[in-house]
Amino acid sequence: MCLAGLGPRSQPFISQRSRSVFIFQTAFMKQNASAVWVGSRKGGKGIVTTESGTLSGMQYFANNDAQGRSTNPNELIAAAHAACFSMALANELAGEGFTPDCIHTTATVTMEQLSAGWTITGIQLDVLVEAPRVKQSDFIRAAVCAKTDCTISRLLKTNISMSAKLENSDNRRASKVRRPANS
């Protein structure tokens, strides 16, 4: 029995009873991006390209350029975290039977100069969700689960804090006071 050619995540299982071979594959995804950097850290510049082509030759610098026409790795981390968290929250709400109208997430990366060098020491997620019929308790549970389960949250070894606000038709309804016609 030849098991050559199986990928590194394939695990053969040979049944003693039937003498059959079953191959269990571990599901995984791979995506890539590439970067080219030219020059010193302070005076240099680079380009970043993603596999999807969404970022194709996008310029980046150690810090944003004065005209704001480029990005930097810290800003890309913030963007990835905001996007990933928003999708994770939509998934959590869908699991409870709700479809949000809009999830707006801002991720703010905090960096500090430590003895090891510049380090991301925290990320603040600010979330505003418009979702009809969602109860506040269900929303908070979904937001906390999304923060924990988000792929980028699990990747980053830093403190992640969050403020989350739910807006739905129940929360936006202002109570109207009617005045008597003769007053």
Please, what is the average pLDDT of the chain? 81
The rounded Cα 166 to chain-centroid distance in angstroms is 19
- Cα separation, 144 vs 147, in Å, equals 5
% of the chain beyond a pLDDT of 70: 74
Q: What is the per-residue pLDDT across 74-120, written as a single tens digit (0 to 9) for each?
A: 999 999 999 999 999 999 999 999 999 999 999 999 999 999 998 99
Q: What is the per-residue pLDDT across 153-172, written as a single tens digit (0 to 9) for each?
A: 999 988 999 999 999 866 55
Q: What is the per-residue pLDDT across 78-89, written as a single tens digit (0 to 9) for each?
A: 999 999 999 999
Side-chain-side CA neighbours of residue 148 (13 Å): 7
Is 105 in contact with 82 (CB distance < 8 Å)?
yes
